Amino acid sequence: MADVTALKKLALLGAIREQIQISSSDFARHISYSPQTASRRLQALEKEGLISRVIVPEGQQILITQRGKDVLRSEYYEYQKIFEPTDNEIELHGKVVTGLGEGQYYMSLEGYKTQFEGKLGFTPYPGTLNLVLTDHSTVLRKRLEESDGIPINGFNSENRTFGGGRCFHVSIGKINGAVIIPDRSHYPNDLLEIISSKNLRSVLGIKNGDLLSVKVLL
């Protein structure tokens, strides 16, 4: 089981942003343990893949890995559920980016298009608007994974299997649409795909790099 306390202390010391150099004795003072125990804690975090560690004459150089960041985000999310009120709407913030160019193809598939029209109440524009979420919004996005949403069923077509997912109604200003959460296990946690009946880039006058605020109805 991950030692979240030690991992959190490393993050507070800056290891979540850049590689830091620290000795076991120095780290021991930060977590109120003996140098031997502190050294074992660091070894355990490295073994679990939560930190990368390079031994140097002055001590060790430590950087929290992506897996370690994910553990901290999950911990943060648990505290959010305890201390922050829960309602049926969340606001996510992210930066507009270019997608993989597959949105137009998927939006044109009858197996998806029919479901979007029947379940969301609009015919989607052929393409998706993609946002890379801020760290805070990436944590909030986990609430979508715990909510039922509007199911989009997978189907077979042209000797291929197309996966399912869930949708949630969204609003960007006065423009309505939906966010798609695919069932793919390796789907990035910080990516948000939005569909609408309109060409959102054109209607909103946005381009890559612009920051956008999206309200999601749970």
Per-residue confidence at 85, pLDDT binned at 50, 70, 90?
Answer: low
CATH number listed for the domain at residues 4-70? 1.10.10.10
- Write down the pLDDT at residue 83: 75
- Write down the pLDDT at residue 99: 78
Per-residue confidence at 176, pLDDT binned at 50, 70, 90?
Answer: very high
Percent of the chain with pLDDT over 90: 67
**Per CATH, which fold does 87-217 belong to?**
Elongation Factor Tu (Ef-tu); domain 3 (2.40.30)
Identical fold for domains 4-70 and 87-217, yes or no, is no
Residue 57: strand, helix, or coil: coil
Q: List the chain domain ranges.
A: 4-70, 87-217
pTM over 0.85: no
Strand 150-152 and strand 165-172: pairing?
Answer: antiparallel
Is the pLDDT score of 110 beyond 80? Answer: yes
Contacts of 16 (CB under 8 A, 6+ apart): 10, 64, 68, 69, 72
- Write down the pLDDT at residue 172: 96
Say how many CA atoms lie within 13 Å of 52 toward its Cβ: 8
Residue 97, phi then psi, degrees to nearest 5: -135, 165
What is the pLDDT averaged over residues 159-169?
92
